Structure 1
């Protein structure tokens, strides 16, 4: 597998990506997904705390699938600059590993870093943080995604 160099990410990429996700990706729009940062090899996204996404616990905790979704989405988007055409080419999740570390009780923010991007497979490592009841930020999950990179 050969390492591939990323394309530059234009300054307007965050706004363009946010608009695309809001207009074209109903599920992420419903979750309230926000693009915080996007640059070559790194992506940060947030899903706000919402009662509809919680387990029936006291205090309410965010259901683990929300963190898993974040890991999948930001891990894949982080790899887009490595595609031949970052806008038109596609990618698909091959494998997703999630380790839950503690319950999430607030907004979730995921940060993805590209581990490696080859000709056909890319790997991203992701950390998910959440606000605690004490107002601090804690690591609630870590994950890694392997993605098939479809090149034009």
Structure 2
């Protein structure tokens, strides 16, 4: 597997991707997903706290699958600049590892960093932060994703 150099993604393409993820992708828009930052090799995304996403705890905590979804999404999108055509080429998750560190009681924010992008596989490391039951902003989950890169 050889390392692949990323492409610059024009601001218009970033805006199109953001519009798609936030408004047109049915599942992500239902979750309230927003793109906070998108640079070559780095992606930051947020899913806001919503009662529909919580466990029946006191205080309510975000269900772990929401963090897992966020990890998967930002980890994959961070790899888009490494595709031949960042908007038209595709990728899919090969493997996703999530480690839950503590309960989350507020918005989830995930930051993905590309570890390596090869000719057919890319790997990202992702950290998720949120407010915790003690009222502090902390890391609540970490993950690593491996993604199959389909280049044109």
Deviations 1:110-132 (A, max 9, x none): 00000000000000000000023
Task: Give the distance between the partners of 2:13 and 2:39, measured in 1 at CA.
Answer: 8
Shift of residue 135, structure 1, vs aligned partner: 4.5
Task: Give the distance between the partners of 1:132 and 1:122, measured in 2 at CA.
Answer: 31
Q: Tell me what 2:115 maps to.
A: 115
Q: Helix, strand or coil: the match of 1:87?
A: coil
Q: Considering only aligned residues, what root-mean-square deviation do their CA atoms show, in Å?
A: 1.2
Task: Give the distance between the partners of 1:131 and 1:12, measured in 2 at CA.
Answer: 33
Task: Give the distance between the partners of 1:150 and 1:114, measured in 2 at CA.
Answer: 16
Q: How many residues align?
A: 152
Q: Cα 1:60–1:125, aligned 2, differ >3 Å: closer, same or farther?
A: same
Gaps (5+ residues) in structure 2? Answer: none
Q: Helix, strand or coil: the match of 2:85?
A: coil
Task: Give the distance between the partners of 2:133 and 2:101, measured in 1 at CA.
Answer: 16
Task: Give the distance between the partners of 1:131 and 1:10, measured in 2 at CA.
Answer: 33
Q: Tell me what 2:89 maps to.
A: 89
Task: Give the distance between the partners of 2:125 and 2:50, measured in 1 at CA.
Answer: 25
